[in-house]
Amino acid sequence: MNPSTISRPFGFEMTARDTNTHARTGIVHTAHGSFETPVFMPVGTQGTVKGITPRDVEETGAEIILGNAYHLYIRPGIEIIQKFGGLHRFMGWNKPILTDSGGFQVFSLTRLREITEEGAVFQSHVDGARIFLTPEKVIEIQEAIGSDIAMIFDECPPPTKDRDVIRKSLEVTLRWAKRAQVHRKRPDQALFGIVQGGIFPDLRAESLARTVEMGFDGYAVGGLAVGETKAETLAIMEQTVHVLPENKPRYLMGIGTPVDFLEGIAAGADMFDCVTPTRYGRNGSAFTPRGLVVVRNAKYAEDEKPLSEGCECYTCTHFSRAYLRHLFNAEEMLGPQLVSIHNIFFFVHFVKSLRREIREGRFARFKKEFIEQFEENSR
């Protein structure tokens, strides 16, 4: 039987559409439950959202998290995860999981790599061991992990204006995508294709058309936020995302600020992930509707207010800016943990709130007003 014809417990239904932009709301159904879109997925690269327990992540309202096949393959190894019956049980998370294939990590974590028709040869960032990944091997890894949504293995090219480099990368990704699709076996796991093409609109359009022609369960736009300008990122988003099939979820990979979410949703995207909430949290920077609050700053030494007034996260309902500043100055690990909890809560609920704005026809106005206020207060 052709794997693409197997019945799968996965589906997407659109529930509302904005009349002024390409924004929309929907529901994605997976083997571990359903989640509404637009949605923010906290990043749990190595089987954990950095510094935060799964219980805390769930209490932020997160409906789905992201893991990474490359990192989990290296540590702890697929055999151990399989022994526990998959990543859900291994890490204590019962809701949906999406796994990234590792294409971006091959690009970003090692200089010593070689891309061939067969796959990617590179050195482990942990111990320097030689690793060889093929599209088929990456599918096998993700099926062993047991994620609800798997990604094809793509080549994520470096930012460049060399069309020949991008063209070659695009062709490799398309051939790898077809091989991944043929090799898949799990009926309970969705597989997403990835659109590449760099900053060239015509190559993006070609990649999109040829990827959609293969008939994946969902589609991602990759190769953005890797070094191109903000203007270039926005242009590709606006030209590409809304053209993807409207009956399938659309995933904008690695895009990661509240302003980015607004632009991505306006372009028609449904799913987002990034490490920004925990990365900023570890440095003491908190996201709020009025911009960033850097709790290390001396002006918060006696500030009794929470990070963000009106926020209902655990951090804001229990602790002051002054206490958080003390934790960072004392180098207590609780400080980064609490700010990270707030940031994930803020990202999750910010994107959730946009569903209401879309359903009630206020999204375009809200987008304009929020961006003006956020950027003004973040200067």
pLDDT tens digits, one per residue of 184-224: 999 999 999 999 999 999 999 999 999 999 999 999 999 99
In this structure, the number of other CB atoms found within 10 A of the CB of residue 87 comes to 26
Task: Tell me which of 18, 100, 154, 270 is the catalytic residue.
Answer: 100
Determine the Cα–Cα distance for residues 78 and 87; give it in Å rounded to an integer.
Answer: 9
Q: Each residue of 269-283: pLDDT tens digit?
A: 999 999 999 999 999
Active-site residue flag, 162: no
**286 to 45, 221, 276, 313, 366: CA distances (angstroms):** 21, 28, 10, 12, 21
Q: Each residue of 169-194: pLDDT tens digit?
A: 999 999 999 999 999 999 999 999 99
> Selecting from 3.40.50.720, 3.40.50.280, 3.20.20.105, 3.10.250.10, what CATH number does the domain 9-274 have?
3.20.20.105
| % of the chain at pLDDT higher than 90 | 84
In this structure, of 126-130, 153-157, 308-312, the range with the lowest mean pLDDT score is 126-130
The boundaries of every CATH 3.20.20.105 domain in the chain are 9-274
Nearby residues of 341 by Cβ (< 8 Å), 6 or more positions away: 52, 56, 60, 281, 313, 314, 315
What is this structure's pTM? 0.95
Angle subtended at Cα 314 by Cα 61 and Cα 349, rounded to the nearest 5 degrees: 35
User: Residue 4's pLDDT band (boundaries 50, 70, 90)?
Assistant: very low
Task: Tell me which of 18, 260, 270, 273 is the catalytic residue.
Answer: 273
User: Residue 84's pLDDT band (boundaries 50, 70, 90)?
Assistant: very high
User: Residue 102's pLDDT band (boundaries 50, 70, 90)?
Assistant: confident
Determine the Cα–Cα distance for residues 273 and 347; give it in Å rounded to an integer.
Answer: 10
Residue 128 has what pLDDT?
A: 81
Active-site residue flag, 273: yes
Tokens standing for 223? 């190769």
